[in-house]
Amino acid sequence: MNQDKNPSSKHQNQQIALDLLLKRKSHNRLGGQALTKEQLETLFQAAFRAPDHAQLKPWRYQVYSGQSLAKLGDYFIEASKAESETQLTSEQLEKIHNKALRAPTLIVAYLSPKEHPKVPHVEQVLSLGASIQNLLMAAHFLGVGAIWRSGKLCFNPHLAKLLGLKTHESLLGFIYLGEKEGTKRPVPEVEQSQLVSYID
């Protein structure tokens, strides 16, 4: 029998997908090898399925791995120096540089908004957020650990310039990807009654 026409098999596949979704969590300890091009292409295929009013595609991504991570760390240092009102110590500079080395693959996500009479800026920000979430879920489905970080560097105009962003573009986050390391406590259940209202 064709598996697609088997109701039991279809329900089982749906349940597997739902279980995976409900178990997604961020991983801050990541190691192993950089993601392959095939893995990354799958992640971006998922990312580009995000809701996108008028098909504006207001998302842009830069992928760093290997030697380019050290170069990104240098950018982190240069941008941090430009923003700091005091001279940074060698320990602080090392810590800043190492932010780029937390995982074997790092994706920079940024907003590239388009002028459109029916799509306000906020919708395009939300679209990029949805795109990043799709990417995180695809990584989870592939068994890849991931975490979405922001911090001061995400809003540092000097870093945006170093990364080649245009004046109307803005960073929205750093997505770290790699092999999950260490143990992770289960994500606690959220009390829905405090967050969800059912209207009669």
Is residue 44 assigned to a domain? Answer: yes
Residues whose CB falls within 8 Å of the CB of residue 183, separated by 6 or more in sequence, listed in order: none
The pLDDT value given to residue 52 = 97
pTM above 0.85, yes or no: yes
The answer to whether the CB of 122 falls within 8 A of the CB of 35 is no
Is residue 1 assigned to a domain? Answer: no
Is residue 38 assigned to a domain? Answer: yes
Number of domains, the chain = 1
Is residue 14 assigned to a domain? Answer: no
Full residue range of the structural domain in which residue 35 is found: 24-182
The pLDDT value given to residue 185 = 78
Is residue 194 assigned to a domain? Answer: no
The pLDDT value given to residue 1 = 45
Is residue 198 assigned to a domain? Answer: no
DSSP 50: S
Is residue 11 assigned to a domain? Answer: no
Integer Cα distance of 23 and 31 in angstroms: 21
Neighbours of 120 (CB within 10 A): 12
The length of the chain in residues reads 200
Task: Please report, in tens digits, the pLDDT of each residue of the chain (200 residues total).
Answer: 455 567 788 888 888 888 888 888 899 999 999 999 999 999 999 999 999 999 999 999 999 999 999 999 999 999 999 999 999 999 999 999 999 999 999 999 999 999 999 999 999 999 999 999 999 999 999 999 999 999 999 999 999 999 999 999 999 999 999 999 988 777 788 899 989 999 99
Residue 84: which CATH number? 3.40.109.10
**Position 198, amino acid:** Y
Is residue 145 assigned to a domain? Answer: yes
